[in-house]
Amino acid sequence: MNLDFPGPQAVRKLRPGRLVIASHNPGKVREIRALLGPHGVEPVSAAELDLPEPEETGTTFVANAELKARAAADLSGLPALADDSGLCVAALNGDPGIFSARWGGEEKDFDLAMRRVEDALAAAGPDASRDAHFVCALALAWPDGHVEWFEGRVDGTLVWPPRGARGFGYDPMFVLNGMTESFGEIDPDHKHSVSHRARAFEQLVAALF
């Protein structure tokens, strides 16, 4: 589902071949590789190509995803796929949101980031809602400047202490509605089928392949 914008109808198909994953996050690259695997694409990460990480100056997930995808496509001469995703907590007015990684400091320490979220919820009072959702925006850019966008969302509840070590980021403290295990506890293949990233990829695959 496209959430914050209507989104264009895809007018260009993605051909088999090399595709840059515009990320230096190993966990994110791993998930995207798994999601692209069945579609004849040869993913190569921005880190493998020694591409710099652009400053994320956008004010939305979509804007930051597009910024990263355009930069990688321009520098590599290849189609580039960027993901911008994060955790939005109802009681924190949507924070950490687009600043999800930055809540972990310069080292992007998500143990620290999760603790900061929990501390902020504690400061909000005992009746603060623990409802939260993950958002994933995908932008696919070609070197000629053409871009396609897709966005997915999943809703759930935050738990403390964090549970599981199978995911990454805020996964250990997020339990999807209808489930009892956190994203850090479930099998990665299961997560690939139910996550915010999976929802966005469903749209991408339907439109571009």
Which of these is catalytic: 84, 111, 119, 171? 84
Helix H or strand E encompassing 82: strand 80-89
Nearest 10 degrees: CA dihedral of 132, 97, 7, 153? Answer: -20
- State the DSSP string of 97-123: GGGTGGGGTTTT-HHHHHHHHHHHHHH
- Nearest Cα residue to 103 out of 82, 88, 90: 88
Write out pLDDT tens, residues 1-39.
334 444 445 578 888 899 999 998 888 888 888 888 788
Record the pTM.
Answer: 0.88
116 CB neighbour count, 10 Å cutoff: 18
- What local confidence, expressed as pLDDT, does residue 10 receive? 57
Residue 50 pLDDT exceeds 90: yes
The domain made up of 17-208 has a fold known as: Maf protein (3.90.950)
- Whether the CB-CB separation of 138 and 144 falls below 8 Å is answered with no
Whether residue 74 lies in the annotated active site: no
Domain boundaries, the chain: 17-208
Q: How many Cα atoms are found within 13 Å in the side-chain-facing hemisphere of 53?
A: 8
The predicted model gives 130-159 an average pLDDT of 97
First to last CA, the chain: 18
Q: How much is the pLDDT for 2?
A: 39
